[in-house]
Chain A
Amino acid sequence: MMSRAFLFPIAVIAVAGCLAFLPSYLDDYGIGIMIGLLNAVILATAWALFSGPTGYISLATAAFFGVGAYTVAVLNESVPYPLILIAAAIIGALVSLSIGLATLRLAGIYFVIFTFGLSEMVRQMITWFEVNITGTLGRYIFLPIEPRHIAWQLLGLAALTLVVGWLIRRSKTGLALRVIGDDEVVAAHCGINIARVKVLLFGVSATLLTLAGAIQAPRYVYVEPAIVFNPTLSFLPVIMALLGGARSLIGPTLGAIPLFLLFEWLSASYPNAYSILLGAVFIVIVYALPQGVTGLIRRWRERSASVVQPEEAA
């Protein structure tokens, strides 16, 4: 039983270990694809850590990603790189915890709208600060970090995200979160401190998103709010996680990889029709796979087993 239980983190680390050899052999485009893929996996998985089990759709991914990138932009000339990453994680955690405390009492559509506004608010606050206090807006990042270094860091972060997700699922908090997702009233009656659990998970998810932004910032070289607070970043993880299945741990990865490759293929092959095709793909996903890929697999399994089983906790 013990070995079976630890299969998942061991597998994640083994796969990451194998992939770590890739950047040394790939050409620039290959590494670019790898960075894009890992970024998609991290964003979708980290997003689903909180939004999957609770069902709270957060559109704040761009806000945290941007905060991470901006932290690097501000500190890159004065602080050693590892410390910048730690600082980014701390800032991401603090921002998300304070926001979480204030807003996670919102539910449903109010929460969605709030998180969407959040990206814009953070962006405007940074702009205001830069314009009125520091008097500079565009910032430059000149760090001796090559694309393959970014790929390695993202690989580590992707493995960390999956392992953190696995740990949460095994913990009491994970169980509490699933109860909240099924029925908040029941959860409250069971004695679960709903607000605390939600804020905690929101914080963990946001910290991982912030780190993703921080690690990729050196790739931008020049950072200004309009560049790093890109609203597309908020929507893509949602559709990726929904395609894969937001309620399972590996689901977002299963959605992120094919979707990212599809986007890349579309933009390489049909640069002028990209947006139209993208819209069509979204519609197909929502109509054909409302439960995501993992939901489809589960249904197949159930059908072939032809015995009614209690739903397995992925």
Chain B
Amino acid sequence: MRKFMRRHVLQWALAASVTASLGGHATAQDSQPVKIGYAVSKTGPSAAGAGVTTIPNYELWVKDVNEAGGLKMPDGSQRKIEVIEYDDRSASDEVVRAVERLATQDNVDFILPPWGTGFNLAIAPLMDRLGYPQLAVTSVTDKAPEFAKRWKKSFWFLGGGKDYAEALAKVIGDAKAAGKVEGKIAVVSVADGFGIDLINAARPAFEEAGLEVVLDKTYPLGTSDFATLINDAKGSEADGFVAFSYPPDTFGMTKAAQVAAFNPAIFYVGVGTAFPIYEKVAGTDITGVMGIGGVNASDPKIADYFQRHTDSAGQPPDSWASAITYASLQMLQQAIERVGVDREAVAEELSTGTFETILGETKLEDNQLRQLWWVGQWQDGKFAAIAPAENEGASEPIIPKPDWKQ
């Protein structure tokens, strides 16, 4: 028995030494990789959003960079990316502990943000204290200017509820001024952080745009039957329907509107409208449906990005935060190329530099991305940006929306 054990130990020792020498050889040849860590929701309620917007873009970017030989350094050398990833299981305390682990145990060079406003805020003080730049992409908050001041290395990419609500009010207000709609609006919102933020901003914005709100209702998170709500909207004689909704609700309301043959001139639904799956959910022509986000439909850079994303993830990206997520990673990549892996210098470069991304020439203002599309509309199978209308690449809105085909 003892002999057997000793032989085993010897075998292990031999194997270990061989592995160690091989490992040593490999590191001598390659330059050391840049360690990039992230904790995102792979399971739990946030997994759906993270799985559409965040994870595929992180994977695509890492693949793109490593296939091109790695991240370029200021001295011209290249270093591959080594990824360390965790699942935050959609819980705030998990994401905080995972970031602590990434920073102090795994000693990663950079930390990519989790998905969602709440999770980004939960790690913000920690990232600031540990000195990591935070590219808070998937955070919609009106307090972004305040946060950017509070945490100097934090960057906010998706605007606030006010931006989206006011841009929508302008789109409908302009249509009213052009005589295309009467401007009677039925608005419903989900009773959750996002829905409440938007409806609070939309009420005064609609009033200012000269629109009349004929129905204003809130529904609980997790509602699955929207027939009553849609019928109420239909009965309210509104010619504009606005829903500040989450993806499952967005899909449910679309189906309910088709069943009820509810055909207002403006049909606007919230998060999820920009998802590639929306067309399949509707199962019919969705031209004219408006929602949050949008992309420059005629831009070849965006078309190329859509193609690469489809090849890598098996589905096209969503047309709201996906392209912005990818662009934020390109900014990080270019900042590293200019100043190296010094986090302090990278944060400074992100804050002040100008970058060439799939969004075009990109520059942050007070640590926030402001060149965003606020309202999009499905046109010819693309979720085309329609507001702000004065920006280059904006499409002309189709109003009234064509009736649902039965």
Contacts and interface: CB of A to CB of B under 8 A. Distances in A.
A131 B121 CA distance: 21
B97 interface: yes
Contacts of B89: 232, 267, 274
A232 B91 contact: yes
A267 B221 contact: no
B100 interface: yes
Interface residues of A, number: 39
A156 interface: no
A138 B196 CA distance: 9
A159 B130 CA distance: 30
B122 A230 contact: no
Interface stretch (A101-109, A193-201, A218-226): A218-226
Given A27-B104, A222-B122, A267-B89, A36 B196 contact: no
Contact of B97 (A33, A132, A224, A230): A33
Contacts of B126: 28
B192 interface: yes
A224 B94 CA distance: 16
A24 B105 CA distance: 18
B122 A220 contact: yes
Contacts of B192: 127, 137, 224-226
A135 B191 CA distance: 10
A29 B101 contact: yes
A271 B118 contact: no
Contacts of B86: 267-268, 271
B103 A138 contact: no
Contacts of B98: 267
A272 B42 contact: yes
Nearest to A128: B191
A31 B125 CA distance: 15
A140 B92 CA distance: 14
A171 interface: no
A137 B91 contact: no
B29 to A, nearest CB: 28
Interface in A20-55: 27-33, 36, 39
Given A32-B100, A267-B87, A137 B122 contact: no
Given A138-B118, A219-B122, A271 B220 contact: no
B130 A28 contact: yes
A224 B118 contact: yes
Nearest to A39: B93
A136 B45 contact: no
A271 to B, nearest CB: 4
B218 interface: yes
Contact of A220 (B42, B92, B100, B105): B92
Contacts of A272: 42, 87
B191 A137 contact: yes
A274 B88 CA distance: 11
Interface of B: 42-43, 45, 85-87, 89, 91-94, 96-98, 100-101, 103-105, 117-118, 121-122, 124-126, 129-130, 143, 150, 191-193, 196-197, 200, 218, 220-221
Given A29-B97, A221-B124, 16 more contacts: A29-B101, A31-B100, A32-B100, A36-B93, A124-B220, A127-B220, A127-B221, A136-B196, A138-B197, A224-B193, A225-B192, A232-B91, A267-B87, A268-B86, A271-B42, A274-B87
9 contacts: A28-B103, A28-B129, A138-B118, A219-B93, A220-B118, A224-B192, A226-B118, A264-B97, A271-B87
